[in-house]
A and B are shown apart, each in its own frame.
Chain A
Amino acid sequence: MEANIHFPDPSKVREELIQKYPAKVAKKRAKSIIVNDPETIPEVQANVRTVPGIITQRGCSYAGCKGVVLGPTRDIVNIVHGPIGCSFYAWLTRRNQTRTESLMDENYIPYCFSTDMQEENIIFGGEKKLKLAIQEAYDLFHPKSIAIFSTCPVGLIGDDVHAASKEMREKFGDCNVFGFSCEGYRGVSQSAGHHIANNGVFKHMVGRNNTPSVGKFKLNLLGEYNIGGDAFEIERIFDKVGITLVSSFSGNSTVSQIENAHTADLNVILCHRSINYMGDMMETKYGIPWMKVNFVGAESTAKSLRKIAEYFGDEELKAKVEEVIAEEAPKVKAVIDEILPRTTGKTAMLFVGGSRAHHYQDLFTELGMTTVAAGYEFAHRDDYEGRHVLPGIKIDADSKNIEELKVVPDPELYNPRKTEAELEALKEKGLEINGYDGMMKQMTKKSLVVDDLSHYESEKLIEIYKPDIFCAGIKEKYVVQKMGVPLKQLHSYDYGGPYTGFEGAVNFYRDIDRMVNNPVWKLIKAPWEKVEADSLEACYVTQ
């Protein structure tokens, strides 16, 4: 498919993006800036270390581990072992929501726990302080679980968070204490932290509670973090359809749900990047297949529900899914019919996350908008090109430092939910079982794909493409808007949301309509400033 909007010559754009860099940097960046062809997907250099001094969107391993994966589970006390900043900066900033069943239920998300390391802890070691902090948390809250997160200095001064956790776990007997070596300097980006978190959750939590879960169609939702209430909308739809959500990793989740997750019959994956390890490990150990889905976009939601029904192969479920889709469709249609004339033909750029830059393209398609350029902050090649490239990805020093768990089928609990033949048949039907085709297959020919876009490159892209909307995070928001282009935050949703499911789609349509048609951009020039072109907005963007 080639878009019917005018694209600047992408190879020229590519040249322009790298010409300011020193030769060595230019050579490296060129491999991450690719002109897309969905037919023969080219290779994108991804998950390689950012060059020092290039201002990146990326965060650190600790951010991925604590902030992203572990943060949304409400009844784990998360203690950050390190100086105060790391815990402070991750304090509620992800906008993960959670809904306790009663006011008495444990919810530690609003807290910011830190060992607040001081100079003497750096010099003489911080393990003693850490153990005291764990003891205090236990005495105060008696939580089911306490997780410890290592920040940069911890690894260097040789504090053993795992030994300290083990000691306290054995001491308490009724509280599961475990640690993560997620020091900020490990790995390339927050992606390393996701992997470390997956390993820890799999090792220390999944499989601890064998009580059979109740329900006919039981699944886990993987890689959904309930930003702005996304999980609530998905839960609403599952409830309506009659699907039992055993556990979520990890939006609106609890410890006991995660410990029981292995009793589900299917894992559906939203954010492939942050949680695919968990899908693979559960498949190997317990025989639960995983399937890539997307609940961002009304059509994508309908499609994903149909895929789930197809997986369970139950006619009644299939009928119920159709019934729910039919029930939800009118309210979505009413809104999109109104908005579509105002958004059709506009262009978007998405540089965000490890899956979001892909998922949200579906919503823009529904709005009649074209994605002219996209890329991830911390994804790997498989998220761009599809999982078939996995065997060919060479393991570099950064990836080697992240532990790969050796997982074998559980002697008692391994129970393949589907036979090989059944799985093959489902794949034939187009279900992404244990697989993911990546973002580029869906993007138009000649669109631009850029991994780990730098601040400088984003400004160049805006200058050249003048998109109607740019999607990224808070760090990019204000500089993009300085240039007269609205920026939609796809980490915090600009304090809006939910954007999943049917209701979420409606929210997103309205938000994008509001943003791309915001009258404020027409007010930038004062009457006494010379107008040089017909359109004020157009002439505003840097020439």
Chain B
Amino acid sequence: MIKEATAKTATQNACRLCNPLGACLAFRGIEKCVPFLHGSQGCATYIRRYIISHYKEPIDIASSNFNEETAVFGGSHNLKIGLKNVTTQYKPEVIGIATTCLSETIGEDVPMILREYKAAYGSEGPLPQMIFASTPSYQGSHIDGFHAAVRAAVKTVAEGGAEKHLVNIFPGMISPADIRYLKEILADFGLPFVLLPDYSQTLDGGPWGEYHRIPPGGTPMSAIACTGSAAASIEFGSTLESPKSAAGYLEERFGVPRLDMAMPVGIRESDHFFELLEKLTEKPTPEKYRDERRRLVDAYADGHKYVFGKKAIVYGEEDLVISIASFLNEIGIVPVLCASGGKSGLMRKRLLELVPDMEEKGIKVRDGVDFVDIENETDTLQPDLLIGNSKGFTMSKKSSLPLVRIGFPIHDRFGGQRLLHLGYRGTQELFDRIVNTIIEQRQNASPIGYTYM
């Protein structure tokens, strides 16, 4: 039985996570920040265990530990006790507060509670900065929480002023390896930048010589304050709209131009990114990256015979899916289905901008779907491979299709936090992995037994 549209009411095997998870992840990318969930302790525990299973790094998330009384009469008291305790134990410079379905359902006025808290304790010495993001779990998905937290951080501290020789970069939900690569590129261009959020160290760091209450790393609040006087903001994310984004806020409030683009995956989108940097710095792309590009083009040519004409199903966050689809189109793989649990309503439109002939190529876009919906498409679409996070494994096993793991969450392979997706280097890694997956599949399936491919 093939179901065309999502006619069903319930969700089976969801292709998205909940809103507060994204906020906690983004808060983890701010220096000396403790994420704090206003709701039941279970949310903090579940989200911690989930984030940890991907990054293999500790993440503390505090909670206001609602009980039945709190749920009925309001959580103001619990939130204040919680903030006080986190402050005493962890001595954070920032507390990133996000709501949950519980506190949103009872209509908690968190900004008011925070004002009361500051009024009550402000005289006892400096309080940590409080960033507040509204993240009701019954709206959107983890990616919305992520962007809400980044926007909230900027909104809390960004200041205007004379333009500084500085760019902001809001890359969205990318891997620690991607963040490190972006920082390397910007440094090589000699361009001062503020990258937010930066969890490249907090969620992918080494052993500690001494105990840290909060892991070292992250974007300092003092740097975030400067975002209001930057020369421009670069923001990745095809479906991220200005009113929901950090760069959008800075443009509206301080007139910092928002340069938005798709996540740079593939040669064309990476070219676009490097062009942008050349324009901003008035400097040529460093030789190192030109070399990376040359090697990548070379690889595209060498690997073309393996990948051309293959069909793939890509799933995950909308922005990631769009960028991967654009890259696949570039190498001759047809992304026969681009699927996401997200539902911005923009996915199709944005993909069309990157792949104008998607209709003719038979590229299908479906948002707001779950894995059962995706699985139901495999029979008709007959893809050669799947590209997405670990949650597609069941589908991959059932339909005997190889799965190239990218994005989040990856909990059934090692090193998900170190996967590179962006730029020439990230594209090179992705390309190699995809080609090898196809070769391996052919090799294993061959009755003759290829040993030399």
The answer to whether A185 and B82 touch across the interface, beta carbons within 8 angstroms, is no
**Is A470 part of the binding interface, using a Cβ–Cβ cutoff of 8 Å?**
no
The answer to whether B49 and A475 touch across the interface, beta carbons within 8 angstroms, is yes
**Is B350 part of the binding interface, using a Cβ–Cβ cutoff of 8 Å?**
no
**Is B382 part of the binding interface, using a Cβ–Cβ cutoff of 8 Å?**
no
Those of B370-418 within 8 Å (CB) of chain A? 391, 394
A185 and B137 CA atoms in complex are apart in Å by 15
Instruction: Report the minimum CB–CB distance from A107 to chain B (whole Å).
Output: 12
Those of A45-101 within 8 Å (CB) of chain B? 49-63, 79, 82-91, 93
**Is B197 part of the binding interface, using a Cβ–Cβ cutoff of 8 Å?**
no
The answer to whether B49 and A84 touch across the interface, beta carbons within 8 angstroms, is no
Instruction: Report the minimum CB–CB distance from B406 to chain A (whole Å).
Output: 19
Taking CB atoms, residues of chain B closer than 8 Å to A165 are none
The answer to whether B138 and A54 touch across the interface, beta carbons within 8 angstroms, is no
**Is A116 part of the binding interface, using a Cβ–Cβ cutoff of 8 Å?**
yes
The answer to whether B53 and A53 touch across the interface, beta carbons within 8 angstroms, is no
Would A110 and B394 be within 8 Å (CB), given that A53-B86, A185-B70 are in contact? Answer: yes
Instruction: Report the minimum CB–CB distance from A182 to chain B (whole Å).
Output: 10
Instruction: Report the minimum CB–CB distance from A532 to chain B (whole Å).
Output: 11
The answer to whether A185 and B208 touch across the interface, beta carbons within 8 angstroms, is no
The answer to whether B85 and A157 touch across the interface, beta carbons within 8 angstroms, is no
Would A475 and B14 be within 8 Å (CB), given that A85-B21, A398-B67 are in contact? Answer: no
Query: Interface with A: B100-108, B266-274, B352-360, B434-442, which one?
Result: B100-108
Would A54 and B137 be within 8 Å (CB), given that A397-B69, A479-B58 are in contact? Answer: no
- Chain A 264-292 interface 0/1 with B at a Cβ cutoff of 8 Å (1 = within): 00000000000000000000000000000
The answer to whether A56 and B45 touch across the interface, beta carbons within 8 angstroms, is yes
Q: Of B60, B69, B85, B102, which contacts A153 at CB under 8 A?
A: B102
Closest to A110 in B: B394
A484 and B85 CA atoms in complex are apart in Å by 27
A220 and B64 CA atoms in complex are apart in Å by 40
The answer to whether A459 and B13 touch across the interface, beta carbons within 8 angstroms, is no
The answer to whether A184 and B11 touch across the interface, beta carbons within 8 angstroms, is no
The answer to whether A133 and B9 touch across the interface, beta carbons within 8 angstroms, is yes
A82 and B42 CA atoms in complex are apart in Å by 14
The answer to whether B84 and A22 touch across the interface, beta carbons within 8 angstroms, is yes
Would A542 and B14 be within 8 Å (CB), given that A85-B137, A122-B138 are in contact? Answer: no
**Is B125 part of the binding interface, using a Cβ–Cβ cutoff of 8 Å?**
no
The answer to whether A121 and B138 touch across the interface, beta carbons within 8 angstroms, is yes
A59 and B43 CA atoms in complex are apart in Å by 8
**Is A132 part of the binding interface, using a Cβ–Cβ cutoff of 8 Å?**
yes
The answer to whether A59 and B46 touch across the interface, beta carbons within 8 angstroms, is yes
Taking CB atoms, residues of chain B closer than 8 Å to A93 are 49-50, 53
The answer to whether B88 and A478 touch across the interface, beta carbons within 8 angstroms, is no
Taking CB atoms, residues of chain B closer than 8 Å to A60 are 40-43, 45-46
Taking CB atoms, residues of chain B closer than 8 Å to A62 are 42
Closest to B397 in A: A110
Instruction: Report the minimum CB–CB distance from B199 to chain A (whole Å).
Output: 14
A116 and B69 CA atoms in complex are apart in Å by 25
- Chain A 138-154 interface 0/1 with B at a Cβ cutoff of 8 Å (1 = within): 00000000000001110
A60 and B391 CA atoms in complex are apart in Å by 24
A223 and B141 CA atoms in complex are apart in Å by 35
Taking CB atoms, residues of chain B closer than 8 Å to A477 are 52, 58
The answer to whether B45 and A151 touch across the interface, beta carbons within 8 angstroms, is no
**Is B115 part of the binding interface, using a Cβ–Cβ cutoff of 8 Å?**
no
Taking CB atoms, residues of chain A closer than 8 Å to B58 are 475-479, 482
User: What is the total of A-B residue contacts with beta carbons within 8 Å?
Assistant: 237
Q: Of A55, A122, A459, A473, which contacts B49 at CB under 8 A?
A: A473
Instruction: Report the minimum CB–CB distance from B140 to chain A (whole Å).
Output: 10
Those of B158-172 within 8 Å (CB) of chain A? none
Taking CB atoms, residues of chain A closer than 8 Å to B67 are 49, 185-186, 397-398
Those of A117-176 within 8 Å (CB) of chain B? 117-119, 121-122, 129, 132-133, 136-137, 151-153, 155-157
Q: Of B52, B85, B138, B391, which contacts A83 at CB under 8 A?
A: B138
Q: Of A21, A51, A113, A475, which contacts B65 at CB under 8 A?
A: A51
A449 and B14 CA atoms in complex are apart in Å by 41
Q: Of A20, A132, A484, which contacts B89 at CB under 8 A?
A: A20
Closest to B81 in A: A52
A contact residues, total (Cβ < 8 Å) = 82
Would A83 and B18 be within 8 Å (CB), given that A184-B43, A482-B207 are in contact? Answer: yes
A82 and B19 CA atoms in complex are apart in Å by 13
The answer to whether B10 and A89 touch across the interface, beta carbons within 8 angstroms, is no
**Is A114 part of the binding interface, using a Cβ–Cβ cutoff of 8 Å?**
yes
Would A524 and B14 be within 8 Å (CB), given that A59-B45, A129-B9, A475-B52 are in contact? Answer: no
Those of A452-474 within 8 Å (CB) of chain B? 455-456, 459, 463, 473-474
**Is A483 part of the binding interface, using a Cβ–Cβ cutoff of 8 Å?**
yes
Taking CB atoms, residues of chain A closer than 8 Å to B47 are 85, 89
Q: Of B21, B64, B88, which contacts A22 at CB under 8 A?
A: B88
The answer to whether A89 and B101 touch across the interface, beta carbons within 8 angstroms, is no
**Is A413 part of the binding interface, using a Cβ–Cβ cutoff of 8 Å?**
no
Would A116 and B10 be within 8 Å (CB), given that A54-B89, A85-B18, A478-B58 are in contact? Answer: yes
Closest to B106 in A: A156
The answer to whether B41 and A85 touch across the interface, beta carbons within 8 angstroms, is no
- Chain A 281-319 interface 0/1 with B at a Cβ cutoff of 8 Å (1 = within): 000000000000000000000000000000000000000
Closest to B55 in A: A478
**Is B56 part of the binding interface, using a Cβ–Cβ cutoff of 8 Å?**
yes
Closest to A131 in B: B9
Closest to A186 in B: B68
A119 and B69 CA atoms in complex are apart in Å by 23
**Is B20 part of the binding interface, using a Cβ–Cβ cutoff of 8 Å?**
yes
Taking CB atoms, residues of chain B closer than 8 Å to A473 are 49
A360 and B106 CA atoms in complex are apart in Å by 42
The answer to whether B139 and A118 touch across the interface, beta carbons within 8 angstroms, is yes
**Is B333 part of the binding interface, using a Cβ–Cβ cutoff of 8 Å?**
no
**Is B118 part of the binding interface, using a Cβ–Cβ cutoff of 8 Å?**
no
A51 and B88 CA atoms in complex are apart in Å by 13
**Is B17 part of the binding interface, using a Cβ–Cβ cutoff of 8 Å?**
yes
The answer to whether B207 and A88 touch across the interface, beta carbons within 8 angstroms, is no
Taking CB atoms, residues of chain B closer than 8 Å to A79 are 10
Q: Of B20, B70, B101, B394, which contacts A151 at CB under 8 A?
A: B101
Would A478 and B56 be within 8 Å (CB), given that A53-B62, A57-B45, A459-B211 are in contact? Answer: yes
Binding site for B on A (CB under 8 A): 20-22, 25, 49-63, 79, 82-91, 93, 110-119, 121-122, 129, 132-133, 136-137, 151-153, 155-157, 183-186, 189-190, 397-398, 401, 455-456, 459, 463, 473-479, 481-484, 524, 540, 542-543
Q: With A84-B11, A119-B136, A483-B211 given, name 12 new contacts (CB 8 A).
A: A49-B67, A53-B89, A55-B61, A83-B137, A85-B18, A93-B49, A116-B10, A121-B138, A122-B136, A133-B10, A183-B71, A474-B53
Q: Which 5 residue pairs across A and B have the least CB separation, nearest first? A: A60-B42, A85-B18, A53-B85, A53-B82, A52-B82
